[in-house]
Amino acid sequence: MIIVQNKEELLNSFRTLDRDQVSHLPQGGFPLAMRPYLSWSEPSHHKAFLLFPHESRPVGAVFRSSQGGGNHAQFCQWCHAVKPPQGIELLVAQASLKTSVGVWVCKGISCKDSMKDPQSNGLREALEPGEKLIRFQLNLQKFVLKNLY
């Protein structure tokens, strides 16, 4: 289990580019455990923050969040839950100084809760909760590590 002991360790988990974007800290104070990840938002929900363990260290990402769109059910690209449009949001991260990348995920990065629902995508998937978690972690790592690091 990787534990983040203080604010300095937390900020060091983010890219230099993102560090001054971390306007809020997770509720509950330190130390922080990632089970299996940690997410928090600005009270305005304009920004979302993510912290997850990778190769024995915490990795952070900052996202701008946009409203979901349309009237149709939306699909979370990380945990594969299907939800009404307001349950899924577009998170945009700065990939470099000039480019950004987006991903549709459960609002507030609430995939943790979505994965507990056996019918989260209405498909009655034959995946065990542990398998869903592995799929989620692979999707998340692929997105963050490939695009941002």
Q: Which residues bind Zn ion (CB under 5 A)?
A: 76, 78-79, 81, 106, 111, 114
- Name the residue nearer to Zn ion (CB basis): 14 or 78: 78
Q: How far is the CB of 37 from Zn ion (least distance, A)?
A: 11
Distance CA 137, CA 38 (A): 12
Q: How far is the CB of 83 from Zn ion (least distance, A)?
A: 8
Number of Cα atoms under 13 Å in the Cβ half of residue 97: 0
SS3 annotation, 81-110: CEECHHHEEEEEEECCCCCEEEEEEEHHHC
Q: How far is the CB of 108 from Zn ion (least distance, A)?
A: 10
Distance CA 125, CA 71 (A): 24
- Name the residue nearer to Zn ion (CB basis): 10 or 39: 39
- Name the residue nearer to Zn ion (CB basis): 51 or 111: 111
